[in-house]
Structure 1
């Protein structure tokens, strides 16, 4: 059997030249495999296929749920009979050796990757499935789509902008080092988080996401907010909106607080998700 040697975060791995089945342990890897026309037989979907955004879910078709992204189900992965497993270099590094007992496994960035690092991961995956030419073609189409949407954005990108996820007692802010933060900067939006704020805030899950309480959010005082939620009417969102700080945030006072879908914006981190985000922003008006 012909193989390809792939360099990745855990070293080098010999992978079959023709991949007919792959398991993805992060949503962005599903995105990449679908774009490259590779059969995805298993997905760590956190136990619910509804977590896959529509364009991806429709193209994947039937697959084996490999459990949670943080703690994938090894028996389910075996059941999916992969020729290749794509795992996250941060989340799954401690289980790498065990994964390689099932199938050749590569570790690439997703969870703690910025936009450009996600593009780099796509290139590695393209090489791993012996579809480098296809990957280049997809990347060029992606770049053209993003530039087209960028040209259509009517929002004032000079307003200081902060993407956040709402939590029980505050928010998790996405800095410019994160996927969403870096992608918004790529689209021309001015980051609200200064270096000082970043240095004086608590990291979330050991990554470049920052935990801010309501008071800290009001001190950052972004002129524009992208609020990533699963349910606009959730208790967490209501608590934020009922907080004293909320009404004093410039973005709220000026009606520049935009509620967006957390799955698409924060969890997927792939090419299709990026295009959906850019399209959504291009359709927003002040």
Structure 2
């Protein structure tokens, strides 16, 4: 039986795809196959924050963004570029297909972990490419930027931005490395119910490694939440015992506030050496991308006591 929702989505999808197919030009190979994309898409919908980062890096504003219905999560970092010329399509986990279709996009950029099951439907709305933002590491994220640059018809602009980014990160690495040598660093996010450590294969874990830190954490096996973002007890954290513990706190108070009086917490090397540092969870954990990496590196430079003006 055709429901009202199905009829609406099918109608909008037909309109959207019809507008997009008029200017198909190139092929983009992505995680779920090969997609014909327009020569220079103008109406792009992005379903993960790192894809906003990519478009904003070359001054392009998506028409639709999966912002988790919380615009401040993206506007606080990308607002100067984005302005008000975009529409929320809902959450990253379950974006609204109807809203996406109503925007008549000519390109959709989706996430492998979150959106593979919806790939077929998204492809009926507009040409769709699928990239691993949630499960990918820092190096994969930078490589994705170039692919996105090709998909949106701005390969030269994106290549220039990537080159500038790599130079910026190399400068940060040179300043941070002397402070990172021999230091086991660990990043995690904490809320009222638990601590979730980002493993060495995660975006932030690989970024810390690139900046010269080591890690004591071994990734688990399974899906992204077993390998990248691992729920961790105080006992497990005690066994890991990093030298430097960096936490993004989503709630105040959080689980670590509950642990503060526990002997295991007090015995942590990072606690005893005053090397537990709190950072902006949104920037570190959600965003992922070149702008995000540069913000993260700037935070790390402050944490280790370096000088962002080169006088360290």
TM > 0.5 fold call: yes
Among 187, 192, 197, the residue aligned to 1:173: 197
Deviation at 1:124, TM superposition (A): 1.1
The residue that corresponds to 2:211 in the other structure is 187
More helix by share: 2
Secondary structure, counterpart of 2:179 in structure 1: coil
Task: Tell me if the contact between 1:170 and 1:214 (Cα under 8 Å) persists in the aligned partners.
Answer: no
Structure 2 distance, partners of 1:152, 1:45, is 34
Residue 168 of structure 1 and its aligned partner are, at CA, apart by 4.3
Alignment gaps of 5+ in structure 1: none
For 1:1-286, what aligned pairs fall within 5 Å after superposition?
1-52=23-74, 54-62=76-84, 63-153=86-176, 155-193=179-217, 195=218, 198-199=219-220, 205-231=225-251, 233-285=252-304
Give the aligned length: 281
CA distance in 2, matches of 1:206, 1:36: 34
* Structure 2: runs of 5 or more not aligned: 1-22, 306-312
Q: In the alignment, is the contact (CA less than 8 A) between 1:202 and 1:210 conserved in 2?
A: no
**8 Å CA contact retained: 1:21, 1:38:** no
Root-mean-square deviation (Å): 1.9
Distance 1:161 1:207 in 2: 17
- CA displacement at 1:53 relative to structure 2: 5.4
Conserved 8 A contact 2:135-2:224: no
Deviations 1:199-243 (A, max 9, x none): 5x8976354222211111011111110111234x32434213233
1:21·1:81 contact (CA, 8 Å) conserved in 2? yes
After TM superposition, give the deviation of residue 76 of structure 1 in Å.
Answer: 1.7
Q: In 2, distance between residues paired with 1:67 and 1:33?
A: 19
Structure 1 Cα separation of the partners of residues 175 and 100 of structure 2: 42
The structure that is strand-richer by fraction is: 1
Secondary structure in structure 2 of the residue aligned to 1:76? helix
Aligned counterparts of 1:167 and 1:49: Cα–Cα separation in 2: 20
Contact 1:169 1:213 in 2 (8 A): no
Structure 2 distance, partners of 1:191, 1:180, is 12
